[in-house]
Amino acid sequence: MEIVRFLDIAATSAAVAATSGRKAKIELLAGALRRLDPGEIVPGAAYLAGELRQRQTGVGYASLRDRPEPATEATLTVSAVDAAIADISAVSGAGSQARRKQLLGALFSAATAPEQLLLVGLFGGELRQGAQAGLLAEAIAAAAEVPATTVRRALLLAGDLKIVAEAALTGGAPALAQIHLRVGTPLSPMLASSAPDVAAALLATGTPAIVDTKLDGIRIQVHRSGDEVAVFTRSLDDVTARLPEVVAQVRALPVREVILDGEAMLLDASGRPRPFQETSSRAATRGARATTRRTSRASGAAPDSAASAAATSPAAAASPAAATSAASAVSGGDAAATGLRPYFFDLLHLDGADLLDEPGRVRWAALAETVPAVATVGRSAADTEEEAAAAFAAALAAGQEGVVIKDPEAPYDVGRRGSAWVKVKPRHTLDLVVLAVEWGHGRRHGWLSNLHLGARDPETGGFVMLGKTFKGLTDELLRWQTERFQQLAVADNGWGVTVRPEQVVEIAFDGVQTSPRYPGGVALRFARVLRYRDDKPAAEADTIDAVRAIGAGHSAPPA
């Protein structure tokens, strides 16, 4: 098998982006996978998936702006590119910025124009070529000549397409059969679909349903084997060393082996959640994605004493007063302790028994017998819309994001987003003004894509930037806004255009968080485009005061 050129991967990526048919995309991807040498499968599959094998490279957008002229002849191989990026990722210490720039420049100098385009998309994380995990799973199955269901199951359990591709292409179905639930190896979490209200959610799940409080924290998956504990994020990053409180609490459980699914968050003294970015910063990843057992004995790290005691002390049991307070929506117990706390809502493995395929009611009964109520999410049964609405109101009153309504008969559908779990959150919208737009990458190359959003400042008459988004943009909107913002452009630096602040856009978002990055001190969480407001002038856009009021939990003042 001959060594595959990086240019071949770039050509396949471009062809997949330009192809609309699902079957044709699969054939293109399968053909590229078949040509990979065994030593190239892991990086090659990653590139086809639009990602890098190395999770942290230290390369930001600014480093990609001033690129050297592309090479005229293709010399790079998949292995050579992987080695170069590995070298870039390993740079640290004094002089690291200059060294990383030197290595990045050498890689781009050796790359042709199509290869440079692919590298920019990979480093920037915006390679939108339409090759989602499900499509790649089918391509792997076609390339390895194994059933697609076998590949999908392995992918869901492994949580890493690269590992599955390597197993399928080198060992076929027998190798894939060796990929199973293992304590210490994270698996893709079950996800929830969305509904606009509890009534729509109940239509999806049916009744009776279970209503869980949706916490304003970070998703965690915790594995324990003996005294060894590992904590993983939703993206399967190992954050064990950063969450000693979680490690201590799970190690205190009366079990030998367990895999738990839940969330972690910081609380204030009253038991209400701290701002999301404070919790998120505590768990910020500092390393590669975990694909093998990575457990920890906490290395002597001291857990938060209040949090640890609250999780294990009988005195932390819920009192009648606590049960009726707003904070009781957090868990089944007293939430008065401060510090980072885990709250679990599912149990996937217990002392040698896999529970993935058991109905939720069985898993949750095992959870209730294993984990103290103080360390579980608030959970109630709902036979009617009124009961679900009451739980939703209680969750919001406690400062949480909303609720997740669940079918108690559904198994744990690893890595899937279906109708068995449906989340309901209040949706905020604002009419904001576009201040600048960045040129897109990958599938969006040649289109103006990432919007810089601003709120009106009534004191100065100007606009205050709140963040960026490229979410919610259809191809039709991309075409329209590319033409529109070129008409409004006052400057184009090749990376993006600055525009006259005239175009109003309606933005949906999940909340407001403090941010030292932006001049107004606040930023939008999970912003996405709903529609453009040609009926509204910029002078009537929402104000920065309205944004701050939402962040403070008050009704927004009139624009």
CA distance 379 to 22: 41
CA distance 457 to 520: 10
Report CA torsion sign: 238, 154, 418, 142: positive
CA distance 430 to 525: 12
CA distance 231 to 221: 6
DSSP string, 421-480: EEEE---EEEEEEEEEEEEB-GGGBTSEEEEEEEEE-TTTSSEEEEEEE-TT--HHHHHH
CA distance 90 to 87: 5
What are 318-323's contacts with CB under 8 Å, separation 24+? 318/373, 318/374
Using only the alpha carbons of the chain, give its radius of gyration.
25
Q: If you search the block for the tokens 């738990």, which residue do you land on?
A: 260
CB 375 within 8 A of CB 249: yes
Q: If you search the block for the tokens 């990843």, which residue do you land on?
A: 285
Instruction: Characterise 110 by phi-psi region: left (phi > 0), alpha (psi -120 to 50), beta (else).
Output: alpha
Element holding 159 (H helix, E strand): none
Positions marked catalytic: 214
CA distance 59 to 39: 25
CA distance 377 to 537: 45
Nearest to 494 by CA among 539, 448, 462: 448
558 C-beta neighbours (distance < 10 Å), count: 8
Q: If you search the block for the tokens 């049991």, which residue do you land on?
A: 317
Using DSSP's 3-state secondary structure scheme, residue 254 falls into coil
| CA distances in angstroms from 272 to 180, 208, 266, 329, 524, listed in the order given | 38, 29, 8, 10, 21
| CA distances in angstroms from 380 to 265, 340, 387, 389, 539, listed in the order given | 21, 24, 9, 11, 46
